[in-house]
Amino acid sequence: MIDLQKGETRENLDYVPQTGMDKLADLSTVNMNDFMDVRGRLLAFTMHYDFALRNRESSLVKVSDLKLNDITALLLPKSIQKIKREDSLLFSYFPEVSRPLLDTYLKLRAAKNPATDVLIVADDGMPLKTTGCREAVKDHCSKLGINTEAKQIPTPHRLRHSFGTLNIDPIGRRLKIQQICRQYRHRDIATTYRLYIAKNPILQRQEYEATMIGNGNSGGLNGEHNGDLNGGHKNPAPIPQAPSFLQSHDNFISEKEAIGQVRELGLNDRALRKYAITMGKIRQTGRNYEYSATFILDLATNYFTRKEAIDLLGLARATFFDWTKIGGIEFVQIGQVGLFKKDIVLEKKRAG
């Protein structure tokens, strides 16, 4: 699903750091009897951070769109989405904050006797327009002294952007990229990868620190650990080690053997290596790379290439792409090669 070769490396500082989000998550800093204060916190934290709504979307959500039973959820109608897709069911990843805010806001809202089902209303009970919602967020964050990493006053979009930056695995709530993609309602998961992994400054810093620790480098100012130990040739930065569970329960094979097993899929060593790094299925021994044997076996035995899938199904390319898009068919993009699960393709074949 992700073309790693298109990943960008420039960091994106347009997010609220964790210290700022901690202030918004602290309900002791909001006057729960003040309609304007609760509304500002609800917009900033629940609507734009937790549910990751776009600015206009938050101004059009209705009370009837909320699904507040044993879970905290929102059914976002297609009609109000910026990118018109099917109705999207969004779940709260911070119900311990969002649910009390929603419950309190709905009580305070009812006291305004609103003549509308629109959730966010002004003090007179009339719907609060898009610009009003945006200014309410900025005013609330400014009052709390909250800024983005780039020292800007947070807007709805910046709070939405903060959700992915702070919570993608392995940080924050450790959400998988698929979960982040669903909450953002991105058209393509490659967008999620580009913005929240490739350009994520927190992940970049963690990777740098892990590399420095792996090199035994405590600064290198005295020249003892500057990596220039082989006749002026620096050692390559080490690949992050595979998770301990994988190391203790899996065998590893050489890169040459791994490439040999997936040769029929048309994968080259560079693309496979990048994908394996992202999946945590590779380790480095000296100057050599070793791959998880089960990971390579899974690719070799359980996937069709895009061409194989199209030929097997007897579909035109346009029809095939419509099937994958409309059906939400997941696939793996490794370099220029798209791979599809065999069982999904064969099920489609049987269905006719």
Closest CA to 43 of 116, 122, 113: 122
Distance of alpha carbon 161 from alpha carbon 15, whole angstroms: 6
Confidence of residue 246 (pLDDT cuts 50, 70, 90): very low
Peptide bond into 170 cis (omega under 30): yes
Distance of alpha carbon 338 from alpha carbon 92, whole angstroms: 32
Calculate mean pLDDT across residues 169-195: 88
pLDDT reported for residue 215 = 57
Residue 227 has pLDDT above 60, yes or no: no
SS3 22: helix
Residue 211 has pLDDT above 80, yes or no: no
The string of pLDDT tens digits covering residues 14-49 is 899 999 999 999 999 999 999 999 999 999 999 999
Calculate mean pLDDT across residues 238-263: 64
> Domains in the chain, start-ordered, CATH in brackets?
4-198 (1.10.443.10), 241-352 (no CATH)
Distance of alpha carbon 164 from alpha carbon 314, whole angstroms: 39
Calculate mean pLDDT across residues 95-103: 96
Distance of alpha carbon 65 from alpha carbon 23, whole angstroms: 27
Query: Cα torsion at 158, 162, 165, 170 (round to 10°)?
Result: 180
User: pTM of the prediction?
Assistant: 0.62
Write the DSSP symbol of residue 80: G
Write the DSSP symbol of residue 200: -
pLDDT reported for residue 209 = 76
Calculate mean pLDDT across residues 280-293: 84
CB hemisphere CA count around 324 (13 angstroms): 21
Which residues make Cβ contacts (< 8 Å) with residue 202, sequence separation at least 6?
Answer: 165, 166, 171
The string of pLDDT tens digits covering residues 314-351 is 888 888 888 887 777 878 888 888 899 888 888 887 77
Residue 132 has pLDDT above 50, yes or no: yes
Mean pLDDT lowest for which of 99-103, 211-215, 331-335? 211-215
Average pLDDT, the chain: 84
Tokens of 309: 């899938």
Write the DSSP symbol of residue 238: P
Residue 219 has pLDDT above 50, yes or no: no
Calculate mean pLDDT across residues 101-125: 96
Distance of alpha carbon 322 from alpha carbon 318, whole angstroms: 6
pLDDT reported for residue 217 = 53
The string of pLDDT tens digits covering residues 61-75 is 999 999 998 889 999
pLDDT reported for residue 10 = 57
